[in-house]
Structure 1
């Protein structure tokens, strides 16, 4: 999985996605999502490291079966809140 941390002022966004999804465009109905290298391709990390980072993150954007499963496993995402876009699992987390 790739994990990239984006910081802007006081805001931090963690982007996590399965390795094979980089560069893909997902289309379903009126939804189009590009999984760009610029936003998602950061460091290749283990599931253990991903869980550690996700557990403390407040704003997270996740794509892919492995990445979303990781977030569900550590309790950051409820499995009932996972969306499927063009057969790819997706979840977002916003903690205030």
Structure 2
């Protein structure tokens, strides 16, 4: 998985994670293109434990891919029914208020 933690002063952090096989892929959602790139999701791969730790501490998260979404579901952060499918790929956003 790829992982990047965006730290926003005064607003906390946003964890972005995606499955490895999705990097530099463009998915279609109707007429909207969703480009998965290293600029947002990072350029370094991370272990499952590293992604798990980042998600556990995240104020917000943006995740895409079967593997990373399954990890968030197994952690109890989201339910499968709360995910949307983009071109057959599960995507979720998590917000802690």
**TM-score, normalising length from structure 1?**
0.91
Q: Aligned partners of 1:76 and 1:42: how far apart in 2?
A: 24
Q: What secondary structure sits across from 1:44 in the alignment?
A: coil
| 1:8 paired to 2:19 | no
The total of aligned residue pairs comes to 96
Q: Aligned partners of 2:57 and 2:8: how far apart in 1?
A: 17
Q: Aligned partners of 2:59 and 2:79: how far apart in 1?
A: 15
The 8 Å contact of residues 22 and 41 in structure 1, kept in 2 or not, is answered as: no
Q: Partner of 1:66 in structure 2?
A: 67
Structure 2: which 5+ residue stretches go unaligned?
Answer: none
Q: Partner of 2:90 in structure 1?
A: 89
Indicate the larger mover: 41-50 or 2-11: 41-50
Q: Aligned partners of 1:10 and 1:75: how far apart in 2?
A: 27
Q: Aligned partners of 2:83 and 2:20: how far apart in 1?
A: 19
Q: What secondary structure sits across from 1:61 in the alignment?
A: strand
Q: What's the CA shift for 1:85?
A: 0.4
Q: What secondary structure sits across from 1:43 in the alignment?
A: coil
Q: Which runs of 4+ in 1 moved over 4 A?
A: none
Q: What's the CA shift for 1:49?
A: 2.1
Q: What's the CA shift for 1:71?
A: 0.6
Aligned counterparts, 1:19-58, within 5 A: 19-58=20-59
